[in-house]
Amino acid sequence: MQATNNLGNRRIHRRSTWERNKELHKPNTTEKDGESTEEIKTTTTTDQQRSSVLLQMTTAYAYNNADSKRTKIRMLFDSGSQRSYITNELKEKLDLKPIKQETLNLNTFGEEGFKRQKCDMFSLQLQGEDGELDIELSALAFPVICSPV
* Cβ pair 56, 77 in contact under 8 A: yes
Range 105-110 average pLDDT: 83
Whether residue 96 is predicted with pLDDT greater than 60 in this model: the reply is yes
Question: What's residue 56's pLDDT?
Answer: 86
Task: Please give the CATH number for the structural domain made up of 56-148.
Answer: 2.40.70
* Cβ pair 15, 25 in contact under 8 A: yes
Whether residue 124 is predicted with pLDDT greater than 70 in this model: the reply is yes
For the chain, what are the domain ranges? 56-148
Closest CA to 42 of 75, 14, 23: 14
Bridge partners of residue 75, in order along the sequence? 58
* Cβ pair 90, 74 in contact under 8 A: no
pLDDT one-digit tens code per residue, 9-52: 444 443 334 444 344 444 455 666 666 555 555 555 555 566 67
Closest CA to 44 of 74, 10, 80: 80
